[in-house]
Amino acid sequence: MAFNIRMGVPEMEAVWNDLSTRYQQGKLNKDEEKSFKKLVKVLGYLRENPRHNSLASHEIDDLTRKYGLKIFQSYLENNTPAAGRLFWAYGPNHGDITVLAIEPHPEDQKRGAYQRLKLSTLPTTKPKFGGKD
């Protein structure tokens, strides 16, 4: 089953819209373009299989407790300083994965590192069968 990838609101939705628009217009600098291509690749893996080995996805208990829903972290890259991490959750609908943040890897050895992380929220669900939310 392929998942529907959604962006958290408002932050991740704004980041994605900015990056994808500037990519299509050829206005990303070299580093931004490299990062965008990594993100697109990771989103493809996440869409097809959130447990893909390259993602090393795992639940972050501190964030799950803080936000009241299971929050996962996946690798954007590894073995680089401040390697990028993608934070995501299942939902809001069945078959959806929502990207809540893209951040450098928190220094999880430091007390409370994940507690300082700010995540976007899940988008609202779409009405089913013409009904209302």
CATH number at residue 104: 3.30.2310.20
Confirm whether 121 is domain-assigned.
Answer: no
Confirm whether 127 is domain-assigned.
Answer: no
| Partners of 104 in beta bridges | 84
Confirm whether 79 is domain-assigned.
Answer: yes
Confirm whether 124 is domain-assigned.
Answer: no
State the Cα–Cα distance between residues 12 and 43, nearest whole angstrom. Answer: 13
Specify the number of domains making up the chain: 1
Position 126 scores a pLDDT of 67
Residue with tokens 């209302």: 132
Range of the domain at 112: 4-116
Confirm whether 70 is domain-assigned.
Answer: yes
Confirm whether 57 is domain-assigned.
Answer: yes
Structure tokens at 108: 């999880």
State the Cα–Cα distance between residues 99 and 85, nearest whole angstrom. Answer: 11
Confirm whether 66 is domain-assigned.
Answer: yes
Confirm whether 64 is domain-assigned.
Answer: yes
Is residue 65 within a helix (H) or strand (E), and if so which, with residue range? helix 61-67
pLDDT values of the chain reduced to their tens digit, one per residue, 133 residues? 899 999 999 999 999 999 999 999 999 999 999 999 999 999 999 999 999 999 999 999 999 999 999 999 999 987 776 678 999 999 999 999 999 999 976 665 556 678 788 999 999 876 545 444 4
For 16-32, give one letter per residue: b (16+ CB within 10 A) or e. Answer: beebeeeeeeeebeeee
Residue 9, SS3 per DSSP: strand
